[in-house]
Amino acid sequence: MNDSLFNEIQDSAKYLNLDLNSQEMAQFAMEHDLGEKQLQALSSVLSYLQEKKKENIISTLLKLSRLPLKEPKTFENFDFTQLRGKQADILKTLPTLSALYAHKNLAFIGPQGVGKTHLAMAYGRECCRNGMKAYFLKATELNQKLTDARKYGRESSTINGLVKPSCLIIDEVGRCVFDKENTRMFFDIIDRRYNKEGPNTMIFTSNKSPNTWGEFFNEDSSLLCALDRIFDMATVFMIRGNSYRGKQCETIALSAGEPLTMNKATE
């Protein structure tokens, strides 16, 4: 009998939270005269259930992530040929999620339409595919979320909820200004995520240079230094160029002649 078959059954059982190890399965097989075909069938059933559970987990993670589902932004449908440069190949390593495991933050900086949000969303989706939580929101939504938390006394639960995801994506930094209380809550999130264990990254997109981000947070300089924690361990992609939105748009130029003048009827 192939030992790997028992190990496969054990691994699937563990994923399905079944209390069954390879030794117990081997003993059961001996007591019930199970042949290799029967064990293979059992392994196939458990593998199917394991894969089904994985798909359900991924589906749930994607629904909770606030990432688009109908027209998903993925690395597969991103046109990497649009971005060129000496270090452009680094972009192609993003699907490995190495930044997540290295506790490095990511920032995509550049004008509108160059693919910043697509890349950020694709990274979050890849996290979900690998069974990890991702959460996406725009800076304006984060600002409102923190304001609502203060209004309804949910500061602690809101902050905890934004610390938990392995990947937190904040889109369009610089579109709004955070007041002092929201700034303090935001910096609390940064600080707690900085010390978070396990796979962990924050992703930011903005058309503003990071050295100007302090303009969008109301607080004294001692707390604004918390922004430095974002970039203590970070990879910043500075993307320059023109927007390629609507690159397949067809424009048709037309002109019209002088409008016709109706002659008045003669009396």
Q: What does the alpha-carbon distance between residue 6 and residue 24 come to, in Å, rounded to a whole number?
A: 9
Q: Is the pLDDT of residue 89 over 90?
A: no
Q: What is the pLDDT of residues 25-35, one digit of tens each?
A: 999 999 999 99
Q: Is the pLDDT of residue 98 over 90?
A: yes
Provide the pLDDT for residue 2.
62
Q: What does the alpha-carbon distance between residue 84 and residue 122 come to, in Å, rounded to a whole number?
A: 19
Provide the pLDDT for residue 243.
54
* CATH architecture assignment, domain 80-238: 3-Layer(aba) Sandwich (3.40)
pLDDT bin (cut points 50, 70, 90) of residue 86 is: confident
Q: What is the pLDDT of residues 150-176, one digit of tens each?
A: 999 999 999 999 999 999 999 999 999
129 or 242, which is more confident?
129
Q: Is the pLDDT of residue 245 over 70?
A: no
What average pLDDT score do residues 121-150 get?
A: 97
pLDDT bin (cut points 50, 70, 90) of residue 211 is: confident
Dihedral pair phi/psi, residue 75, rounded to 5°: -70, -30
Q: Which of 138-152, 173-187, 199-213, 252-266 has the highest mean pLDDT?
A: 138-152
pLDDT bin (cut points 50, 70, 90) of residue 205 is: very high
Vertex 22 angle, CA 21 and 23, to 5° = 95
Q: What does the alpha-carbon distance between residue 197 and residue 103 come to, in Å, rounded to a whole number?
A: 9
Q: What is the pLDDT of residues 39-68, one digit of tens each?
A: 999 999 999 999 999 999 999 999 999 999
Pick the range with the lowest mean pLDDT from 25-34, 177-186, 224-233. Answer: 224-233
- Percent over 90 (pLDDT), the chain: 68
Where do you find CATH 3.40.50.300 in the chain? 80-238
The answer to whether the pTM exceeds 0.85 is no
Q: 259-263 — which CB contacts under 8 Å span 24+ positions?
A: none
